[in-house]
Amino acid sequence: MVRIACDLIGAARRGVDEVYRTLERALRAAAGLDALTLWELESDRFKCVFSSGGRYRHYCDATLSALAAGSPLGEARRTGRSCEAEPPLVPLQAADRAGLAIPLENLPLVAYLSLAVKPHESTSRLLGEICTIASAALAVARDRADDRIRATYDGLTGLLTPRAFRSELAARLREAPRVRIVPRIALAFVDTDRFKEWNDRYGHASGDEVLRRIAGMLRAHAAGPEDLAARNGGDEFCLVWTDCEKSSAILRAESLRNSIATAFVEEPVAITASIGVAAYPIDARTAEELLEAADAAMYDAKHSGRNRVAFRRT
């Protein structure tokens, strides 16, 4: 059991999926396991988040009613105890020779084990103890995953955080000189106009909704899967287009500017955006230089009357 605990704790450092796989190996070593499925309770339904064994692979991402009569999953969740899939409970598959549903402590998860034979009481107890250890490991893995998400994505807008954005941009530009065909990367630095006036008039909750709306527009203008949209802090945003010439980036930035202006044109405080555009490698060779060039262009747009796109002429 000590070895199992060490394996599960080690797996927690590598992620939730690794804990699932380590749990499956531990259960298989402890009993005649045909298959393992893990079911997460969402409202009144269980969703399969992990499955192993040929007969059970089709269950992955499937859902089952938590209220269905005879469900060992529902009974295990309701009672907080392990439940064998025997009358009046029904196995998940009729071909199961034996089934055992085990709730995972302090988590909305139930493990369903398809077994080669009906487990002895001591075996059931051992399987339950393994699942208890797995519960703690999963809690750690999920907390670590949540921490990574919070560090990567802004809580208000869902866009990349400044730190995550700069890290990703720097990594891309470090790799760029090493590839045979130098990539074209364009950066738009977006600063909203009159946002403070909006906040003063309508309050910060309304201002937050404005930022969420603008974030949605940035996502809509991120054309490709490799493009990046980030909140730079406050009411500033950044958008990176990959495989994009500077001339195309200027046109895309103008389209974004127009979308923002149009969205708020009927409002008493007409929110607009000043946008600066810079491109790699024509304007900069590093991420820091690219950000500085786009930021300087944005200030040119701001000082030239706002609600416009500016760029360094080369």
By annotation, the residues acting in catalysis are: 235
SS3 state of residue 109? strand
DSSP letters, 214-250, are HHHHHHHH--STT-EEEEEETTEEEEEEES--HHHHH
203: left (phi over 0), alpha (psi -120 to 50) or beta: left
Residues contacting residue 104 through CB under 8 Å, at least 6 positions apart: 110, 111, 131, 132, 134, 135, 138
Decide: 89 and 55 in contact? Cβ < 8 Å. Answer: no
Rounded to 5, what percent of the chain is helix, strand, coil? 50, 25, 30
